[in-house]
Chain A
Amino acid sequence: MRKHSKHDFQYFISEGFSSMFTHGFMSFAAIGITVACLLIMGTFSLVAVNANATLEKLEEENDVLAFVDERLTEAEARALREEILAVPNVTGAEFISRTEALADYESQYEDEELFQDLPDSTLRHRFVVSLADISKMSETKELLADVPGIAKVNAYEELSNGFITIRNIATIVCVALIAMLFLVSVFIIANTIKLTTFDRRNEIAIMKMVGATNGFIRWPFVYEGFLMGLLSAVIAFFLQWGLYGLITSGISSSDAFDIIEIVSFSQMWLPVALIFVAAGMLIGIGGSVSAIRQFLKV
């Protein structure tokens, strides 16, 4: 079997390119649909990234409080920091003296006389402990409680478990939706290219009749799909950029969405661009290859 020459590849590329313009309306439709699918997939993914960032922030705020035995002096209490940091899964331990804790407590109830002028001894010294992995909160809590000098450990495990569940569900839903949209895109592109291929079945039949191999017939269509996918990815990327900018500026300017942690587009543009280009090309090439298959059986 003969391998394709340099002339063949020049021919494939020029045919693929010119065919995209010759079948202008169909190409426009295929590109439009791919752009729409990429935009929907991209928007979903970016929502997932932002939801993840927001959840991460909330998780970080979900610290563990380790209370120091009241019999220990402040200096002895401070000295426990090293032992706490030695506990696995602990990434930080901030010491808060009973005086600081009381001041903070009182400031929360400034209007209520009952809580003012309490003695220092009312509260204990404490450490605000941050964890690397909040899914191991229960184990870490037990290890912290075993540190000599620590009287009690408070941790909101239910809350952290809730965050983990939300993240897991959000990830599964997003992955499932993206996979579905991807398949839908390939299906739509395959059908759109099938229409252009149908339009050219006469050309394909003539090529088969004069002895063109299936590979030779397929290549221009593959290039056409590749070019359409690439062009769709570029258009979708800039549209996504604009759309994201509009939505995030709307969210930032509203107090109601204060809780949402917004990831700026400049932090994500490269992965977004790469994913769009890869997905666009996969959709284009996959669509054209599956579309032409049935016309090669002569």
Chain B
Amino acid sequence: MIRLKDVMKEYPNGTRALNGLSLEIQDGEFVFLVGPSGSGKSTIIKLLTGEVIPTEGRVMVNGFSLSNIAEWQIPYLRRTLGVIFQDFRLIENKTVYDNMVFAMRAVGAAPREIKKRIAYVLKLVGLENKFSRLPDELSGGEQQRVAIARALVNNPSTIIADEPTGNLDPARSLEIMTLLKRINELGTTVLVVTHEKDLVNRFSERVVMLEKGRVIGDGVGKYGVNVHA
């Protein structure tokens, strides 16, 4: 579960990115986090992954309190999260399979477990026949699916996707979002940060709208039309 309560975040240069923001996401939910540039979307992701700590207020993520988390606990928090980025962030000189292995090895998984889990996850994202390809031999949509597979490979309870379709055409974007929805249906909490109104409106999911570091709308419905404040 994710809970932010009266969170204020001010950076050392004086920029106030979040201004008393409160938000709660239950386990198993699918949530779109939308808002213009500078509304605080990126800061929320940084707070949830432990890259920054709140200046004021409380942040709880999957049982970790990020307001007073010890440095050694941060890796263990991150193991409960799978993060997906707009620019995929794959290792260019490793194959699809080795990118997966790398992510599992990094958390100390045993070789037998790795083999079994990767086969399952690659099948889930539809890339079971492309495991030996290098990232630049794949299309943008396929690369993002590898990134999703990597985020899933350590079996996190929450997926955080930061503009996952920002580099993709509309058809591939829809594919990726459908895949994330399917992952959510299998029990994983999914938080998607995006500004693609049309894409959000194709799904009847919870939409949280941000502006100037505050929640200005939160509800199920169409982005920009009938989201209730």
Number of chain B interface residues as a range: 20 to 34
Residues of B within 8 A of A4 (CB): 108
Q: Is the CB of B89 within 8 A of A7?
A: no
Q: Is B78 an interface residue (CB 8 A)?
A: yes
The interface centre, meaning the residue of A8, A202, A208, A210 with most chain B CB atoms within 10 A of its CB, is A210
Give complex CA distance A203, B89 in Å.
Answer: 9
Mark out the residues of chain B between 83 and 121 whose CB falls within 8 Å of any chain A CB in the assembled complex. 83, 89, 91, 93, 102-103, 105-108, 110-111
* A8 nearest in chain B by CB position: B108
- CB proximity to B under 8 Å, residues A162-214: 202-203, 205-214
- Majority secondary structure of chain A interface residues (helix, strand, loop or mixed): helix
Partner of A202, one of B51, B72, B89: B89
Interface residues on A, range: 20 to 34
Set of chain B residues within 8 Å of A211, measured between Cβ atoms: 75-79, 81, 106-107, 154
Q: Is the CB of A202 within 8 A of B78?
A: no
Whole-angstrom CA separation of A211 from B80 in the bound complex: 8
Please give the distance in Å from A196's CB to the nearest CB on chain B. 14
Closest B residue to A4 by beta carbon equals B108
A235 to B105, CA, bound (A): 33
Asked if B110 and A206 sit within 8 Å, CB to CB, the answer is: no
A213 to B77, CA, bound (A): 11
B89 and A212 within 8 A (CB): no
A212 to B150, CA, bound (A): 14
Known: A209-B78, A210-B78, A298-B51. A216 touches B108 (CB 8 A): yes
CB neighbours (8 Å) of B78 from chain A are 208-211
Binary per-residue interface labels of chain B (25-51) against chain A in the complex, 1 for a CB within 8 Å, 0 otherwise: 000000000000000000000000101
Q: How far is the CB of A220 from chain B (nearest CB, A)?
A: 10
**For window 48-68 of chain B, which residues contact chain A by CB distance below 8 Å?**
49, 51
> A8 contacts which chain B residues (CB < 8 A)?
108
Which residue of B is nearest A217, CB measured? B106
Min distance, Cβ A295 to any Cβ of chain B, angstroms: 14
Chain A residue numbers with a CB within 8 Å of B72 are 1, 213
Neighbouring A residues of B107 by C-beta, 8 Å: 210-212, 216
Q: Are B91 and A203 in contact (CB under 8 A)?
A: yes
Assembled-state Cα–Cα distance A202/B94 (Å): 12
Evaluate contact between A206 and B89: CB separation under 8 angstroms: yes
Q: How far is the CB of B90 from chain A (nearest CB, A)?
A: 8
* Residues B106 and A210 in contact, CB atoms below 8 Å apart: yes
Identify the closest chain B residue to A204 (Cβ). B106
Within 8 Å of chain B (Cβ to Cβ): is A11?
yes
Which chain B residues border A217 with CB–CB below 8 Å? 106
| B50 → A minimal CB distance (Å) | 10
Tell me if B83 and A5 are in contact (CB < 8 A). no
Given contacts A1-B72, A211-B154, contact A206 B108 (CB under 8 A): no
A213 touches B91 (CB 8 A): no
Closest to A1 in B: B72
**Please, what's the 1-or-0 string for A248-292, where 1 marks a CB less than 8 Å from any CB in chain B?**
000000000000000000000000000000000000000000000
- How many Å lie between the Cα of A214 and that of B71 in the bound state? 10
B111: nearest chain-A partner, CB-CB: A7
CA distance A217 to B83 in the complex (A): 19
**CB pair A7 B108 closer than 8 Å:** yes
Decide if B110 touches A203 in the complex (CB within 8 Å). Answer: no
Judge if A71 is at the interface, Cβ distance under 8 Å.
Answer: no
Within 8 Å by CB of B108, from A5, A202, A208, A298, lies: A5
CB distance from A296 to the nearest CB of B (A): 10
A203 touching B102 in the complex, CB below 8 Å, given contacts A1-B72, A7-B111, A211-B107:
yes
A41 to B92, alpha carbons, bound, how many Å?
41
Would you give 19 A-B contacts (Cβ < 8 Å), ordered by A?
Answer: A4-B108, A5-B108, A22-B93, A202-B91, A205-B89, A206-B89, A206-B91, A206-B102, A206-B103, A209-B49, A209-B83, A210-B78, A210-B106, A210-B154, A211-B77, A211-B78, A211-B107, A212-B75, A217-B106
Known: A206-B102, A211-B81, A213-B75. 6 other contacts (CB 8 A): A203-B91, A211-B107, A211-B154, A214-B75, A216-B107, A217-B106
Interfacial residues, chain A to chain B (CB-CB below 8 A): 1-2, 4-5, 7-8, 11, 22, 202-203, 205-214, 216-217, 298
